[in-house]
Amino acid sequence: MTTIADLLPNLVALRRDIHQHPELGFCEHRTAGRIADELRGIGIEVHEGIGVTGLVGVLKGKREGIRSIGLRADMDALPFHEATNLPWASRMPGTFHGCGHDGHVAMLLGAAHVLAADPDFAGTVNFIFQPAEEGQGGARVMIEEGLFDRFPCDRVFALHNWPGLPAGTISTRPGAIMGAADKFNIKVAGKGGHAAIPQDSPDAILAAASLVQQLNTIISRAVPAASSAVLSVTQIHGGDVHNVIPAEVTVGGTVRTFDPVVQDRIVERMHGMLKGIEASFEVRCTVDYERYYPATINDPQAAADALEVAATVAHAELAAEPAPTSEDFSFMLQQRPGAYIWLGQGTPDHAAPLHNPQYDFNDSVMETGIRLHVALAKHWLV
């Protein structure tokens, strides 16, 4: 029988090939094609075009059973330059697998190989390969296009590599594990005029500067100390030349929370600040505020089961606190009970954080990820 050790050389090669040919959200045509070919090659039923480039592989166990499980891997890359200089570095300038989704694909394909070779379970495994996780809501689109209607899942799990954990350590927690992600873009409109005659022109830059300072007080003064939240201003745009007061300045950023009540409070406080800025500086403020990813909330029993199963595979530990980063697997967990799980990949050679130009997935943890996927499926499909 083929072992995981036998599979690993080809899976590492596949992972590095995907890394060399990264594709952005909803454009993962080559990646999805490679996945479909791999699944069909081992006799798994493939359904393509779910959420544009998403696909699902369906494998039924050799024993009768009504239970089903979904195992999800994301496929998309990020829009920035790689700086690793590795032999398998991205060949696509400005596009880079800087979050390890190439590794996630390889691990889930490895699990598909193992389970297809010995489908000694009762029920159905749905291998979900999802597009556009990086800010575009590919999970939501797949759900809207009938993911769970067409491929029922009693439980759904996702595995994400985590550089902050020692390589091979598996970690998760009940309840919130990743934050809700909001983004805001505020337009501050003045009048515009000559920089030497500021008294004739409401100053959008001065108003924006005051606004940035005030926004940074929201967390410390409007959010209870026991609650976790982050507000970061990440963009300020305004002005073209040194002697003109611009008519408009934009201020943008992100908010991360774990509690909808706190989320509402931050938005309320922001709108109150904008009214104050308008009155103080004689400008007009408009805000485009989007709650694009909800918090990722693990089902308590599914998280407990995941930790129990993980302990049979590797070192497993309860995550002490959630991460403020976000994940669109949250949409799947709103529809089905399940858990989001971290797989440590930290070593001296793999210390770069996610979304960093020096990041690369640690191939040495691939076997642990495969074993965890397989164990989760067999645990649920008894």
61 and 171 co-located in one domain? yes
pLDDT tens over the chain, length 382 residues: 679 999 999 999 999 999 999 999 999 999 999 999 999 999 999 999 999 999 999 999 999 999 999 999 999 999 999 999 999 999 999 999 999 999 999 999 999 999 999 999 999 999 999 999 999 999 999 999 999 999 999 999 999 999 999 999 999 999 999 999 999 999 999 999 999 999 999 999 999 999 999 999 999 999 999 899 999 999 999 999 999 999 999 999 999 999 999 999 999 999 999 999 999 999 999 999 999 999 999 999 999 999 999 999 999 999 999 999 999 999 999 999 999 999 999 999 999 999 999 999 999 999 999 999 999 999 999 9
Tell me which residue has tokens 């931050």.
266
Query: Which structural domain range is residue 251 located in?
Result: 180-292
CATH number, domain with residue 193: 3.30.70.360
Query: Of 156, 176, 168, 163, which Cα lies nearest the Cα of 320?
Result: 176
Give the C-alpha separation, 216 to 213, whole Å: 5
Residue 132 backbone dihedrals phi, psi, to 5 degrees: 55, 50
Give the C-alpha separation, 308 to 299, whole Å: 14
269 and 307 co-located in one domain? no
Sign of the Cα pseudo-torsion (187, 189, 194, 198, in order): negative
Query: Of 159, 155, 102, 104, which Cα lies nearest the Cα of 125?
Result: 155
Residue 362 backbone dihedrals phi, psi, to 5 degrees: -90, 105
Per-residue CA distances from 223 to 175, 176, 218, 220, 229 (Å): 20, 17, 7, 6, 8
The token duo for 113 is 């190989």
Tell me which residue has tokens 């696909």.
55
283 and 301 co-located in one domain? no
Domain count, the chain: 2
Which DSSP state fits 21?
S
In sequence order, the β-bridge partners of residue 69 are 125, 155
39 and 158 co-located in one domain? yes
Q: Which of 292, 318, 352 corresponds to the end of one domain?
A: 292
Helix (H, G, I), strand (E, B) or coil at 313: coil
69 and 189 co-located in one domain? no
Q: Which of 249, 266, 292 corresponds to the end of one domain?
A: 292
17 and 153 co-located in one domain? yes
173 and 202 co-located in one domain? no
Q: Which of 266, 292, 318 corresponds to the end of one domain?
A: 292
Sign of the Cα pseudo-torsion (359, 365, 368, 373, in order): positive
- Evaluate whether 254 touches 232 at the Cβ level (below 8 Å): yes
**Virtual torsion, Cα 263, 264, 267, 270, nearest 10 deg:** -100
pTM given for the model: 0.92
Cα 211 to chain center, whole Å?
Answer: 30
346 and 363 co-located in one domain? yes
209 and 278 co-located in one domain? yes
362 and 243 co-located in one domain? no
DSSP 247-292: SEEEEEEEEEES-HHHHHHHHHHHHHHHHHHHHHHT-EEEEEEEEE
Which amino acid appears at position 335 of this protein?
Answer: Q
247 and 330 co-located in one domain? no
CATH number, domain with residue 17: 3.40.630.10
Which DSSP state fits 202?
-
Q: Which residues contact 72 (CB under 8 A, 6 or more apart)?
A: 108, 128, 129, 130, 139, 156, 157, 158, 329, 332
352 and 220 co-located in one domain? no
- Evaluate whether 163 touches 346 at the Cβ level (below 8 Å): yes
